[in-house]
Amino acid sequence: MHERPENPPFLDSLQRPLRDLRISATDRCNLRCTYCMPREVFGREFVFLPHADLLRFEEIERIARQCVALGVCKIRLSGGEPLLRHGIERLVGMLAELRTEDGKPIELAMTSNGILLAKKARALKEAGLARLNISLDALDETIFHRMSGGNVPVAAVLDGIAAAQAAGLAPLKINTVVKRGVNENEILPLIRRFRHTGVIVRFIEFMDVGLTNGWLLDDVVAAHEILARIDAEYPLRPIAARYPGEVAKRWEFTDGGGEIGIIASVTRAFCHGCGRLRLSTDGKLFTCLFAGKGVELRGTLRARASDDELRQRIAAAWLGREDRYSQLRHAMTEAPARKIEMSYIGG
């Protein structure tokens, strides 16, 4: 883990420093997870972004470089499914070259559903990818299909995990979204499978992202419940965050079986430490996962703006940032009308 630079802290209106940039490399995906891109909405007739609207790698790198100049020290490639973006290794290679003000390499990470990893893990590692999170919601085939909205076998993801381990992408993290009545009984099987392997499983409360996943508070399995289920069979104790603002609460097995994480995005909002900026596939900058509107950068880039102009636009977006959606969620009666899909903005 890289140390986070102290200087210069570039703060938003709630005094939060800009630290992380998440880039959606594509809005397409080879799964249709019910909580993210449900098939009824993202079906055959759904129109994804045309290629000309996508930011080119050089454009992504230019934006990322300006963000790094403003304090970003960690970049995560996401989507959609980032491995579907043709030549993604080249983008990884370009971003891996970025250096912070004090000359340190940025921490370059990716979140993937793992399906194409068996083919790509080695190339990603060689290109400079440092960390990888792989999403896997169940080991049971039927439950996995219910969560992921298709019939891709679990084995495809497990092969991807094995390939990532073989390529030296460690420590590997597994992201598991928990949805009441669907996969909560998979929590313990996942724990058993990955204890003592060095792989860190992180359970995520089902969130009300976008407008299409039919979110109900009743579907959320709260962090304390997830924890109790695990602790009853494999006793846990809390461990310290690796850095301020880490979203997952960390726990370790008291018997030395490794660690787990729980991301309580619904029941324990972490907006106060949120330093994340998001870049959509078509070049809009969002200051919150739940933001309704982004700052258009593609037009700015294509109008031949200078690096200074680009940086000023990014800086203005961060300086004016007031987002704290999760903190306000409980006070809200209904979901706001213009939220953005996670596949488009980068999970």
| Binding partner selected for residue 274 from ligand SAM, ligand SF4, none, CB under the kind-specific 5 to 8 Å limit | ligand SF4
Query: Restricting to residues 302-341, which ones interact with ligand SF4 according to CB under 6 A?
Result: 323-326
Query: Restricting to residues 18-37, which ones interact with ligand SF4 according to CB under 6 A?
Result: 29, 31-33, 36-37
Closer residue to ligand SF4 in complex, CB, 135/183? 135
Query: Restricting to residues 55-84, which ones interact with ligand SF4 according to CB under 6 A?
Result: 79-81
| Phi, psi (degrees; rounded to nearest 5) at 21 | -125, 125
Closer residue to ligand SAM in complex, CB, 70/92? 92
| Binding partner selected for residue 324 from ligand SAM, ligand SF4, none, CB under the kind-specific 5 to 8 Å limit | ligand SF4
Of how many residues is the chain composed?
347
Closer residue to ligand SAM in complex, CB, 104/146? 146
Other CB atoms within a 10 A radius of the CB of residue 323 amount to 20
Closer residue to ligand SF4 in complex, CB, 297/342? 342
Give me the least distance between CB of 4 and ligand SAM, in Å please. 23
The Cα 163–Cα 320 span in angstroms is 43
Give me the least distance between CB of 196 and ligand SAM, in Å please. 23
The Cα 237–Cα 258 span in angstroms is 11
| Binding partner selected for residue 325 from ligand SAM, ligand SF4, none, CB under the kind-specific 5 to 8 Å limit | ligand SF4
Query: Restricting to residues 261-300, which ones interact with ligand SF4 according to CB under 6 A?
Result: 270-271, 274, 276, 288-290
Which residues are near ligand SAM by CB under 6 A? 29, 35-36, 78-79, 81, 111-113, 135, 175, 177, 204, 206-207, 209, 213, 342-343, 347
The Cα 117–Cα 294 span in angstroms is 31
For residue 219, give the DSSP letter.
Answer: G
In 68-79, which positions are buried (b, 16+ CB within 10 angstroms) versus exposed (e)? bbbbbbbbbbbb
The Cα 159–Cα 154 span in angstroms is 9
| Binding partner selected for residue 10 from ligand SAM, ligand SF4, none, CB under the kind-specific 5 to 8 Å limit | none
Closer residue to ligand SF4 in complex, CB, 245/257? 245
Of 175, 195, 212, give the one whose Cα is nearest residue 347: 175
Helix (H) or strand (E) holding 59: helix 57-69
| Binding partner selected for residue 221 from ligand SF4, ligand SAM, none, CB under the kind-specific 5 to 8 Å limit | none
Give me the least distance between CB of 30 and ligand SF4, in Å please. 7
| Binding partner selected for residue 175 from ligand SAM, ligand SF4, none, CB under the kind-specific 5 to 8 Å limit | ligand SAM
Give me the least distance between CB of 126 and ligand SAM, in Å please. 21
Give me the least distance between CB of 235 and ligand SF4, in Å please. 30
Q: CB neighbours of 273 closer than 8 A, spacing ≥ 6?
A: 16, 244, 245, 246
Give me the least distance between CB of 213 and ligand SAM, in Å please. 5
User: Rule CB under 6 A: is residue 200 a binding residue for ligand SF4?
Assistant: no
Give me the least distance between CB of 256 and ligand SF4, in Å please. 32
Distances (CA, A) of 135 to 33, 106, 119: 11, 23, 17
Cβ proximity of 258 and 198 under 8 Å: yes
Hey, what are 36's tokens?
């993210």
Q: What is the dihedral of CA 120, 262, 341, 331, to 10 degrees?
A: -170
Hey, what are 46's tokens?
């759904």
The Cα 247–Cα 252 span in angstroms is 16
